[in-house]
Amino acid sequence: MKQDIIIASDLEKSLTEAIERVSHDHLFVLTDTNTERYCWPLIKDFAIMQGARMITIAPTDEAKNISTLTKVWSALQEGGASRHSLMVNLGGGMVTDLGGFAASTFKRGMAYINIPTTLLAQVDASVGGKTGINFGGLKNEIGVFNCASSVILSSAFLRTLDKENLLSGYAEMLKHGLLSTKENWAELLCFDITNPNFDTLQMLVTKSVAIKEEIVNIDPTEKGIRKALNLGHTSGHALESLALEEGRTILHGYAVAWGLMMELYLSAKKCSFPAKEMHQLENFVKEHYGKFLYECKHYDTLYKYMTHDKKNENGNINFTLMGAIGDIRINQTATKDEIEEMLDYYREN
């Protein structure tokens, strides 16, 4: 499941080499309407892209569903795709997740390359081989593990992002910082993500991806330590599902940031995570991400969503918690009372 992670200083050269490494009969490019407008122009005139067949889907996580997937399969079929074809997914996490799943299942699997265009996709969604769609009101409910042949990371695309999408990706980098070292954590807290130096950001992205890659290489199918990457996600996905149910669109990284706040509180209660680092995270999240508002009446719904988390075993809600920065505690359970106490803490702080 090893994939090539390419930090592109010369985007055309990197993309050309990545495509030429995969023998193929047809080349397809999947974008959404936003990346078609803002990101496709950065690569469309490359010689290697001439003759590529475009597939464009609707943007945002609401389009990450079976209906959109069917449209992509149909477009591949109509375009004469075979199992020897190649698809380039140009977009954020929704495009790389759905495009990767479409490629992995069409004709029982064709090769694909990810070019993540958001910070979130660069440090999280496009790396590690998770593909899939939302289903039945639940995040990433249907999918497969199947790595892209290459993932090409370029800061050129990050310059197209608004502040909210930069912050969304940065939440996953904060998570990687908590999983790694105090030095990396301090570096992330000190970086000015609201007015970024993109060369420095590219360096931080490279470190962040290396942290994720190291974990994925040890445990590609999430039987053990890869569950570390779910820090903040059991709670965060529940908030996303509640937002989806109520028609409140939120970015994934914002939900992760709020989920990190919740789960570091749980870490402090159950695993003695230091209060100093917990408050550092809380202050950073409050300053940059604001708050997700919910009431006591939502507790049962949020709890219900947590019971659907894919890490759960034997009927227990399964969290990844921390004993300290770099001290990862997977397979931690919490009672309904403890979860409600965590929800209280976040709501009241």
Q: Give the pLDDT confidence of 106-134 residue by residue, as tens digits.
A: 999 999 999 999 999 999 877 888 999 99
Long-range contacts of 217-223 (CB under 8 A, 24+ apart): 217/2, 220/1, 220/128, 220/129, 220/145, 221/145, 222/145, 222/310, 222/311
Evaluate whether 160 touches 117 at the Cβ level (below 8 Å): yes
Angle at CA of residue 257, ends 129 and 330, nearest 5°: 60
CA distance 258 to 285: 7
CA distance 203 to 196: 12
CA distance 115 to 192: 25
pLDDT digits (tens, 9 = 90+) for 9-42: 899 999 999 999 999 999 999 999 999 999 999 9
**Residue 104 parent element (H or E):** helix 93-105
pLDDT value, residue 2: 63
CA distance 145 to 129: 5
Evaluate whether 31 touches 39 at the Cβ level (below 8 Å): yes
pLDDT digits (tens, 9 = 90+) for 193-231: 999 999 999 999 999 999 998 998 899 888 899 999 999
Q: In terms of C-beta density within 10 A (0-12 exposed, 13-18 middle, 19 or more buried), how is residue 190 classed?
A: exposed
Long-range contacts of 178-183 (CB under 8 A, 24+ apart): 178/231, 178/260, 178/264, 178/277, 178/281, 178/322, 178/325, 179/211, 179/215, 179/228, 179/229, 179/231, 179/322, 179/326, 179/328, 180/211, 180/325, 180/326, 181/325, 181/326, 182/325, 182/326
pLDDT digits (tens, 9 = 90+) for 46-88: 999 999 999 999 998 889 999 999 999 999 999 999 999 999 9
pLDDT value, residue 221: 87
State pTM to two decimals.
0.88
Identify any residues that bridge with 145 across adjacent strands, giving them in sequence order. 130
pLDDT higher than threshold 60 for residue 170: yes
User: In the chain, where are the structural domains located?
Assistant: 4-161, 168-348
Strand order in the sheet with 86-91: 4-7, 150-153, 111-116, 86-91, 27-32, 53-57
CA distance 148 to 111: 7
pLDDT > 90 in the chain, percent:
88
pLDDT band at 98 (very low <50, low <70, confident <90, very high): very high
pLDDT > 70 in the chain, percent:
99
CA distance 203 to 207: 6
Evaluate whether 140 touches 90 at the Cβ level (below 8 Å): no
pLDDT higher than threshold 60 for residue 282: yes
pLDDT band at 239 (very low <50, low <70, confident <90, very high): very high
Is 3.30.70.260 the CATH number for 4-161? Answer: no
CATH for 168-348, among 1.20.1090.10, 1.10.3210.10, 3.40.47.10, 3.20.80.10?
1.20.1090.10
Q: Are strands 111-116 and 27-32 parallel, antiparallel or unpaired?
A: unpaired
Residue in the block written with tokens 């009672």: 335
pLDDT digits (tens, 9 = 90+) for 301-332: 999 999 988 778 877 899 999 999 999 999 99
